[in-house]
Amino acid sequence: MSAQAERPLLEICGVSAFYGKIQALRDVDMTVNRGEIVTMIGANGAGKSTLMMTIFGRPRARSGRIIFDGTDITGMPAHEIARMGLAQSPEGRRIFPRMTVMENLQMGAALADPEYFEADLRRVFELFPVLEKRQNQRGGTLSGGEQQMLAIARALMARPRFLLLDEPSLGLAPLLVKQIFDVIRELNEKEGLTVFLVEQNAFHALKLAHRGYVLVNGRVTMSGSGEELLAKEEVRAAYLEGGV
């Protein structure tokens, strides 16, 4: 492999971010390599979603640098970051409720070459067959799980090199969580899609991910492979106690 390929796809170096005077991220360092699934776990308010949003430029990183594929994207506008091949399924899904499933998917493909639209559509319908059935229904009328699927499918329509998912398991039944995580694994194994996953559901996320980070009060306190973290007493006590 060339030296370029050796370099991580995403590097976050010493990033701090603030909401007004409140510091949400403290000197966060992390990397995501090509073809990896990396997860960031942490409790409510640990700064997981902030990290995700900071990658997309809002809130701005007040210090540190975010480098994607060798390009410094710190402070770039969100739409330009998206144009570099990062797609995200944001916190709270944020699908377009009044638009139909098809229109939502079409919005996802706004940046992609229209030539691939049909093929990409078939691919996401294969991954999430329920969306095909619901294609002419309004996004807002879907169930929570279907909306989550739509959010992921919409992100995939952009043909991303790097997929960011913010709590895809939030508010979903265990069976649906498994279904969605299976799709993420499939995308990673079959297509080599790089995935960064922010999760509260530590057990599932760590089982799925190659590597993981633990975020506490805006600071990365632990990192390691998924199994390593799962085996750690502190992780078990803090995030897995009381069952899965």
Partner 1 sequence: MTDATRESAPAGGGKLAEAVKESAMAALLAFVLTSLMLGVRTVDAPGGLGLQYRWHLVIGAMVIVFVGRLLLKLFWWKEDGGAPAAVGAASGRFATLTEPLRKFAAPALVIFAFVLPFLPIADRQIIDIGILVLTYVLLGWGLNVVVGLAGLLDLGYVAFYAVGAYSYALLATHFGLSFWTVLPLAGILAAMWGMILGFPVLRLRGDYLAIVTLAFGEIIRVILLNWVEVTKGPDGISGIPRPSFFGLEFKRFGENTFHNFFGIEYSSMHRIIFLYYIILVLAMITNYVTMRLRRLPVGRAWEAMREDEIACRALGINTTNTKLTAFAIGAFFGGLGGSFFATRQGFISPESFTFIESAIILAIVVLGGMGSQFGVAVAAIAMIGGFELLRNMDWVKGFVESTFGIENFDPNEYRMLIFGLLMVVIMVWKPRGFVGTRMPTIFLGKERKAISGDLVKEGEG
Binding interface with partner 1 (CB under 8 A): 56, 58, 77-80, 82-83, 87-88, 90, 94-100, 102-103, 106-108, 110-111, 121, 135-138, 140-141, 154, 158
State how far the Cα of 33 lies from the Cα of 84, in Å rounded to an integer. Answer: 16
Shortest CB 168 distance to partner 1, Å: 15
Q: How many CA atoms lie within 13 A of 73 on its CB side?
A: 25
By beta-carbon proximity to partner 1, the closer residue of 35 and 90 is 90
Residue 20 Cβ vs partner 1, minimum distance, rounded to whole Å: 16
Residue 214 Cβ vs partner 1, minimum distance, rounded to whole Å:
25
Task: Tell me which amino acid residue 49 is.
Answer: S
Query: CB-wise, 95 or 214, nearer to partner 1?
Result: 95
Minimum CB distance to partner 1 smaller for 47 or for 139: 139
Based on CB atoms, which residue is closest to partner 1, 31 or 106? 106
What share of residues in the chain are helix, strand, coil (percent, to 5)? 40, 25, 30
Distant-in-sequence, close-in-space partners of 162: CB < 8 Å, separation ≥ 6: 9, 10, 32, 68, 85, 86, 87, 193, 194, 195, 196
Nearest CA to 229 among 211, 242, 215? Answer: 211
* Shortest Å distance, C-beta 220 to partner 1: 24
